[in-house]
């Protein structure tokens, strides 16, 4: 069965350096290493992220485990497709399905890990998670309709967000006032004391929502043009 692969659109800040690094790493992989194993390694990384955030309730230094998990997740999740392309062993249907289904599991571990830690409120994290899933679904729809798989928005992609989270983890570990800061907020009968991480999550959530609706309007204009009313 001949399958047309969606064109990957990747214009993130670190894309040039990352692409060279991934091709180099793919060339160094032993013969027994496969894309499926790398996908599993990425999943293990997300579990480490979850455990690190969960255990940070006991000791903030467990965030180092989450940071290590982000590196492991990047290694597996970013290298699996590159390895298949370098070895010319792509499986467009199987690979696309497996990669994106595991991505959903990875993201759940990451978001719920943060939400179940003492650093942020679960309801705030889930609010951002909804917008993130909207973006993910939008990308998948366009991959089907336009054969374009867009990985970057505003020069930011998955790798840049991983680096940002690693930086935030480091700041929270070393700056006690930063992780202990709270901002009381009341909306009607609902009251919450937002943490520093909550505020950051709200800011990113607003950014994701803005990108989602902006992209949706732009895409609707495109589809309306190529599929006019009759």
Both tokens of residue 218? 């732009």
pLDDT of residue 1: 44
Q: What CATH code is carried by the domain that includes residue 84? A: 1.20.120.1760
Task: Give the whole-angstrom CA distance, residue 30 versus residue 38.
Answer: 12
| Backbone φ and ψ of 5, nearest 5° | -80, 145
Domain for residue 4, yes or no?
A: no
Residue 70 lies in a domain: yes
Please work out, in degrees rounded to the nearest 5, the angle formed at the alpha carbon of residue 123 by the alpha carbons of 122 and 126: 85
Burial 38-77 (b: 16+ CB within 10 A, else e): bbebbbebbbbbbbbbbbbeeebebbebbbebbebbbbbb
* Residue 44: inside a domain: yes
Q: What is the pLDDT of residue 4?
A: 56
Residue 158 located in a structural domain? yes
Digit-by-digit pLDDT tens for the chain (230 residues) are 445 566 666 677 888 899 999 999 999 999 999 999 999 999 999 999 999 999 999 999 999 999 999 999 999 999 999 999 999 998 888 988 999 899 999 999 999 999 999 999 999 999 999 999 999 999 889 888 888 777 777 677 889 999 999 999 999 999 999 999 999 988 878 888 999 999 999 999 999 899 899 999 999 999 999 998 88
Residues spanned by the domain of 38: 9-226
Considering its fold, how many domains does the chain have in total?
1
- Within-domain flag for 101: yes
pLDDT at site 149 = 74
Q: Per-residue DSSP letters for 162-216?
A: HHHHHHHHHHHHH-HHHHH-EEEEEETTEEEEEEHHHHHHHHHHHHHHHHHHHHH
pLDDT for the residue 144 = 86
Query: Within a 10 A sphere around the Cβ of 21, how many other Cβ atoms?
Result: 14
For position 8, what pLDDT does the model report?
66
Q: Exposure of 14 by Cβ count < 10 A (0-12 exposed, 13-18 middle, 19+ buried)?
A: middle
Q: Is residue 199 part of a domain?
A: yes
pLDDT of residue 2: 47
What is the model's pLDDT at position 220?
94
Encoded tokens for 116: 């179940």
Does 3 reside within a domain?
Answer: no
1 inside domain: no
């Amino acid at each position: 069965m001949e399958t047309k692969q969606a064109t990957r659109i990747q214009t993130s800040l670190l894309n040039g350096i990352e692409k060279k690094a991934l091709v180099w790493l793919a060339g160094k992989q032993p013969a027994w290493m496969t894309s499926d194993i790398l996908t599993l390694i990425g999943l293990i990384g997300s579990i480490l992220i979850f455990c690190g955030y969960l255990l940070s309730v006991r000791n903030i230094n467990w965030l180092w485990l989450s940071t290590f998990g982000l590196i492991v997740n990047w290694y597996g999740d970013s290298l699996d497709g590159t390895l298949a392309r370098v070895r010319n062993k792509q499986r467009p249907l199987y690979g696309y399905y497996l990669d994106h289904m595991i991505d959903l599991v990875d993201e759940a571990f990451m978001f719920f890990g943060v939400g179940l830690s003492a650093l942020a409120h679960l309801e705030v994290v889930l609010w951002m998670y909804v917008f993130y899933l909207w973006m993910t679904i939008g990308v998948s729809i366009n991959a089907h309709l336009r054969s374009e798989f867009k990985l970057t928005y505003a020069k930011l992609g998955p790798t840049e967000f991983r680096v940002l989270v690693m930086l935030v983890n480091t700041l929270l570990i070393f700056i006690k006032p930063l992780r202990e800061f709270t901002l009381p907020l009341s909306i009607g009968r609902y009251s919450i004391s937002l943490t520093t991480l909550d505020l950051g999550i709200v800011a990113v959530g607003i950014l994701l929502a803005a990108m989602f609706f902006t992209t949706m309007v732009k895409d609707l204009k495109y589809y309306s043009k190529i599929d006019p009313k009759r």
